[in-house]
Amino acid sequence: MTVFQRAYPPTRPAAGPALWFVFQKDTLLMQENGQSQILIQTDEADMAKMQPRDVLYIGTIADVACMACEVDGEQVLPQGWRAVTRRALFGLLDDAAYSAAGYAFQLLNWQRTSRYCPVCGAPNGPLGESWGRQCPQCGHLAFPPVIPAVLALVHRDEHILMATAPGRPRYSILAGFVEPGETLEECVRREVMEEVGIEIADVTYINSQSWPYPTQLMVGFYARYVSGELRPQPGEIEHAAWFHVDELPNLPPPLSLSYQLVVGYSSILKRIEKNS
């Protein structure tokens, strides 16, 4: 299986054509190839025509260098190039390229937002090993942030708890950011109690997913309902209800871990039913 192999400063790419992850605002630029789109593959001299900013060497795919950069939002695109939203990349790129695209966006975001030291305000030093940045004035050292958030699929026999947020009609499972001093399991129990007022048990880790919008790590859990009546938290939850696995509402998009957890739980029940 082809994988994305990460690289870190001060490693430099080999000479020759590379795969370019070129971001214009929040979109990735790709080339049209018949009825489909492919990553841009060219050398640095040709890419220079686009006046790329903050070029980074991020790794390799099948021994081909992967480069990341940004271009001006008003830049006119060459013929055959088009801008693709990051969410639309799921299913358009293979797993290796999709992973590299998320990594590229997060590093470019880090490079852009870490130019100054958050402690003393002095200009930060260059990107170093593991993409860290150290202030030459006060010595503060920082690395690209990864913000953990939990997803909680709460189940009650053949029913799944799903909810909508204000202004968002699509149903999803419960989610929330981890607070300082809190374990992931504690976060799951707290978020469920805060958002819908019920008690849960058997909090079990299932899977995780990088979610570069811009720097989240989504951590998915199953949890068993114990007691309590649903009391949606005002301002956070518009509607919450139990749905039978055979009568689920409009689900999140397939790229999301939320969707994968729901489908996974439904599959587990069907296997149990088949074997019983």
Instruction: Give me the CATH number covering residue 96.
Output: 3.90.79
pLDDT at position 168 is 87
Please name the amino acid found at residue 101.
Answer: A
Q: How far apart are CA 123 and CA 116, in angstroms?
A: 4
- Say yes or no to pLDDT of 276 above 80: no
Q: Are residues 186 and 268 in the same domain?
A: yes
In a domain, 138, yes or no: no
pLDDT at position 36 is 82
pLDDT at position 270 is 84
Domain of 200 in residue numbering reads as 147-275
pLDDT at position 58 is 98
DSSP per-residue string spanning 50-61: G--EEEEEEEEE
| Strand-strand pairing, 239-244 and 174-177 | unpaired
Summary mean pLDDT of the chain = 94
In a domain, 93, yes or no: yes
Structural domain total, the chain: 2
Q: Kindly report, residue by residue over 191-235, the tens digit of the pLDDT.
A: 999 999 999 999 999 999 999 989 999 999 999 999 999 999 999
Q: How far apart are CA 37 and CA 184, in angstroms?
A: 38
What percentage of the chain reaches a pLDDT higher than 70?
Answer: 100
Tokens linked to 105: 């966006």
Instruction: Give me the CATH number covering residue 176.
Output: 3.90.79.10
Q: Kindly report, residue by residue over 20-61, the tens digit of the pLDDT.
A: 999 998 899 999 988 788 999 999 999 999 999 999 999 999
Q: Kindly report, residue by residue over 67-115, the tens digit of the pLDDT.
A: 999 999 998 999 999 999 988 998 889 999 999 999 999 999 999 999 9
In a domain, 18, yes or no: yes
pLDDT at position 17 is 94
Q: How far apart are CA 200 and CA 186, in angstroms?
A: 11
| Strand-strand pairing, 216-227 and 147-156 | parallel
Q: Kindly report, residue by residue over 1-17, the tens digit of the pLDDT.
A: 789 999 999 999 988 99
- pTM summary value: 0.90
Q: Are residues 192 and 95 in the same domain?
A: no
